[in-house]
Amino acid sequence: MLTQKTAREVGITKRTDPKQSVMGGSIYFQSLLERLPESIPRQDKLWIAIAAYNLGFSYLKEARKKTLNTNGNANSWTEICNTLILMAKEEDDPSMATRINEAVDYVQNVQLYYRTLSVNKRNSSI
């Protein structure tokens, strides 16, 4: 569900309405994709945007910056994911550490579902 602030940003008047919530979520997700640099490969960009959707754009922006500062590839979801895991371990606020880990798990679950659907689609066309 969208936060009240995000709902206002995307023009949703009743965030608890399922139709408006889905519409608002899709508008917000598209805006996250558009805010990310074109230099990020398409697949990585999707995973980064999904993490930003769950955790917040500012945290992903910070994770990209920290990844760069350690000579990592800030356009790689895998490297950003590793940075997020380190950020969670270093976080003083346990609830924030939990949120970071939940975002990483969220993306991993979406990736698993994506691979599962891809295999099922491929098997059904055989």
Residue 73 to residue 65: CA distance in whole angstroms: 10
90 and 29 within one domain: no
**Same structural domain for residues 77 and 27?**
no
Rounded Cα gap, residues 33 and 68, in angstroms: 20
Compute the distance between CA of residue 60 and CA of residue 27 in angstroms, rounded to an integer: 19
91: helix, strand or coil: coil
pLDDT of residue 126: 58
Q: What is the pLDDT of residue 123?
A: 75
The yes-or-no verdict on residue 46 having pLDDT over 90 is yes
Domain that holds residue 91: 41-124
Between CA 12 and CA 23 the distance in angstroms is: 8
pLDDT, tens digit, 9 for 90 and up, residues 49-107: 999 999 999 999 999 999 999 999 999 999 999 999 999 999 999 999 999 999 999 99
Quick one: 23 and 55 in the same domain? no
Do residues 50 and 88 lie in contact, with contact meaning Cβ atoms separated by under 8 Å?
A: no
- Per-residue pLDDT, 33: 96
CA distances from 34 to 46, 56, 57 (A): 11, 15, 12
Q: Do both 5 and 30 map to the same domain?
A: yes
Look at residue 86 and give its three-state secondary structure.
helix
pLDDT of residue 124: 73
Q: Which two tokens stand for residue 53?
A: 């959707």
Asked if 86 and 116 sit in the same domain, the reply is yes
Q: Rounded distance, CA 93 to CA 33, Å?
A: 28
Total of domains in the chain: 2
Total number of residues shown for the chain: 126
Q: What is the pTM of this model?
A: 0.88
pLDDT at res. 125: 66
Asked if residue 28 and residue 70 are part of one domain, the reply reads no
User: Per-residue confidence at 40, pLDDT binned at 50, 70, 90?
Assistant: very high
- Whether residue 109 sits in one domain with residue 91: yes
Whole-number pLDDT of residue 93: 97
